Amino acid sequence: MLEVSSLKVSYGQSEVIHGVDFTAHKNETLAIMGRNGMGKTTMFKTLIGILNHDSGTITLDGQDLTGLPSHARVDAGLAYVPQGRMIFSHLTVMENIQAGLEVASQRRHVPDEIFSMFPVLHDMRNRKGGNLSGGQQQQLAIARALVSEPKVLLLDEPTEGIQPSIIKEIAGTLNEIQKMRDITIVVSEQILSFTLDVADRIMVIESGKIVHDVPREGCDADQITAYLSV
């Protein structure tokens, strides 16, 4: 569904993503793990078109996204939940979600499915986004992305700054999304327990290179933990 080939990204003269190759298959949840500064966020920003890349290709369901602006990538079926959530704090919950409808085909209303997945957002639909807890803001950011009807959902460190009980809820929600929709999820993460709850496959990025790629079933948690240790 999403194929990345020989991707290289630089900040000025410093190359930070070094020829990365990976494929996220249809209806798969792929976790990309790594310590801070290893290139996860840079790669996600490049996939959605916020950052330019030096070389390589990005293909979504057979369509070449290389060189397209971010809004065209969303039109093609790519959605992005950024690190830190980046919701509109002065808009209401409902207005935040409706922002995602701008690219949804022939849709003017938030589908009931969204509120069945995120009932707390229905209860707080008239509250300002900035007044929500970190966990509620994360759910809002995911809901906003989902109403764009994506084929591939990119989630950049969704557990950052969220308490453990809510992390479990988010894992359950992502698994429910997988069951309810034809969707591929690519998530960057540092918390292994969360990753093991949601991922079909786990990759590790280190210094801008993929150094480990293994199915969740039968993976060596100690080996992955060693990669994540400073």
d(CA 200, CA 29): 5
Give the residue-averaged pLDDT of 17-46.
93
Q: With a cut of 70, say whether residue 228 has pLDDT above it.
A: yes
Cα atoms in the 13 Å half-sphere on the side-chain side of 130: 4
Give the residue-averaged pLDDT of 76-96.
89
Options 3.30.70.141, 3.30.70.270, 2.60.120.10, 3.40.50.300; CATH of 2-228:
3.40.50.300
The amino acid present at 164, given as its one-letter code, is P
Q: With a cut of 70, say whether residue 104 has pLDDT above it.
A: no
Per residue in 160-181, pLDDT tens?
888 888 888 889 888 988 888 8
Per-residue pLDDT at 105: 53
Per-residue pLDDT at 31: 96
d(CA 186, CA 191): 15
Domains in the chain: boundaries: 2-228
DSSP for 172-222?
HHHHHHHHHS--EEEEEES-HHHHHHH-SEEEEEETTEEEEEEESTT--HH
